[in-house]
Structures are given as C-alpha cells and as structure tokens.
Structure 1
Amino acid sequence: MRVPPDHVTADGYPLGSWIRMQRKQYTAGRIPADRATVLEALGIEWHPYEAMWQRGITAATAYHARHHHLQVPDEHTEADGYRLGQFIVAQRMLYKRGSLAADRIAALEAVGMIWNNRTHRFNVGVAAARRYHQTHGHLHVPSAYRTGDGYPLGRWLAQQRRALRDGRMPTERITALDDLSPTWRTG
C-alpha cells in the first residue's frame, strides 16, 4: 500500500498521515499483533524505504543482466512502469552526499553502478585511445574513426581537443591524455 504522506480521502480523512502514524507505532512496538495482521492484509509496507530500495536494486540487477552495464538513462522506465533511471539518479545523489549506506554502495557496485557518468565516459575514451596508441604509436585519429567495437574514438578525441581549446578541460584529464601521448592534442 503506497499512499502519499499528504493524501486526504474524498471525505476529508488524512489517510497518509494515519498510515505514517501506524508505521511509527509499529516500529515502536505499539501495534497489537491482530491489528498489524489486518494492516498487512491490506498491503501496508511497514518499511516503505526498504521496500523501495529492494525494488530498485532488483530492477537494476535485471537491467544489468539484460544490457551488461548499468548506464541507465535518467528518464528510463522499465516495462512495468518502474522508473529505474530516477532510482539510479537518487542513489548517485545519496552517494555524493555521503549518505548512502556502505552495504547499499556494495550492492550497487556489484551490479556495475557508475557513480559519475562523465568520469566513466572519459575513462572509456582513454582506454580506447590507449589501445589505438599501442597499435599505431600515435593519436592522430581520423575524426570518423570507430574502434572495432564501434566506439567513436575520432569524435571523442575531437571533443577532448575542443574542450582543451575552450579551456573547459580539467588539468587531471589533460595530464591523463598527455601521459598517454602528446599527439592527442594535434590529431
């Protein structure tokens, strides 16, 4: 039973507040067993945040099994209507704030969680550039070049050069590419 905390019935009863109070009473051990049984039969979730977490990690695990990654678009909705993209965004925000429990971090990392998409995309590009450099000895990559697995390395390097020219590239990224090969700058 998922009732918003501020829900009021058509006849004016504050059902959301009442359910919230039942949960508090249950957590405090002040709900008689027979009343708890009746509420459970109606579908109350005593710990809705835990239920939401379980739903999210289950959907993330299934997504990873289907796609072999967890690069879930922010707007992605599962076939059953579950907004997995929003779950992933929420977990990233909690992680960034330092308020995501260690066991949840571990569970998400076990299914391939990417905490920072920009960093991940940069690292994927560097890995592709490294492979190209090992084969060709330089990073003068044609702009239309795609790796054997379809990665648009030429376009990615052009974007990095543009970011450098525009002064938008962080120093650590410049260093990472320079360490790979200074030829990336002249493409």
Structure 2
Amino acid sequence: MEKLESVGASGRDPDMVPRRDWDEQLDKYVSFVKECNRVPSQSGEGPGERMLAFWLRHQKASLRNGLLLPERFEKLERVLPGWSSPYRLRPGWDQMLARVVQFKTGHGRWPSSTSPDFAERSLANWLYRQAASRDRQHEERLAKLNNALAGWRQRPSGDTEGWNSRLEQIVGHLQTYGRLPTMGASASAEEYALGKWLAVQRYALKKGTLYPERLGRLDELLPGWRPAAAP
C-alpha cells in the first residue's frame, strides 16, 4: 500500500493523499496548462478539467489553513509560479515585463508565439496583447514598455518567416482561382487552412492588434481581403 504523507506538527493531517497520487495530479495540471495555454476552469466542459481546477483550489485551501506540506508548496512554486493567487495563475504585469526584457537580452531576439516552449509562447502572447490593451494603466504601461523595449510595438509577432510564407500561399491561391480562400463546406483541407489564417488576420485587424507592416502587405497583395465593416 502506498505510504501516506506524515501528520503535521499540529496533530492534524495536512493532506491524506498518497505522495504518488499527488505528484500525478500536479503533472496532469502542468500538462494541461502547457497544452491548452490556459489554466483549468471549474466550468470547463470536461470532467477532467473541472477536477484539475478543483484540485488546485484544494491546494490553495490547504495553504490558507496551514495544512499544505512544505515539499508540496515548493513543488507548486517551482512549476506553477503564482499558483497561490486567489484569482488567477499569472504573474503581475511588471513581472511579465521583466521576463520579456530578460528573454530579449539573453537570446538577442523577441519571444516567438510559435515556439515549442510554453514559457516563451506565454511571453510572446503577453507582449502581443499589450498593443490592444486599454485598461486604466494603459498610458503608464506603454511608457514602461517603450522605455524597456524599444521597438516592441513594431516588431512582428511570432514566426515572421512562417507568416510571410502563408501570405505567399494565399497570393498563389488568388492568382490560380481568382478569389480568396474560404472555410466553406466545399473547401479542401489546404484551402480551409488558408481561409482560417486569413480569418485570424481579420480578427486581429478588428481588435487593433494587427501590426502596421503586416496590414500594409495584406492591403498591397490581397485587395478586398478586409471584412466589409472594417475601416
């Protein structure tokens, strides 16, 4: 039988869960975050996701009540920074800025949203969202970004080469068929993928997060690509 964790100094059982089972739950939680690029939700569609959300909620309750074993606290801190926040599993804004600066300085490039590394993708996605942010601290944060990361707003997000390649494929489709690709029921898998990519660009335009140099190339090479309601 799997050995249970020992009783805490207070005499109360800190968490009568076998060590192996607890570690497995932690691994599942971390895997979910990496694969889905978000934290599990208590209102998630699948029971597995809801169980993971409840599991982390239980860890927070154990910490709050002084029942979380030190070794478990250390593991959570190591693999899920900021996990103990009562609201969200995210570091603060200033902490994210410091991480992006550290990455840019250490690697000599911007973080990529297509990187296989979850941490790098998180940095790239966070930086991409700043251009569209309109919260109460927007002006103050823009000043910090401009001071710490010169040129951050103009930089292409993610894989520039991949983006340009996709655009060239759509140009080729337009030249061959005389129309832009769609995601219609009769579209081939290749056309559907191109149509989906184009839909993502339209969505970025609508949200104000499409970088100017990319908008210029789309307007130049794909006349009529904008949705009817777009400026």
Output the TM-score relative to the length of structure 1. Answer: 0.41
Bigger radius of gyration among the two: 1
Output the TM-score relative to the length of structure 2. Answer: 0.35
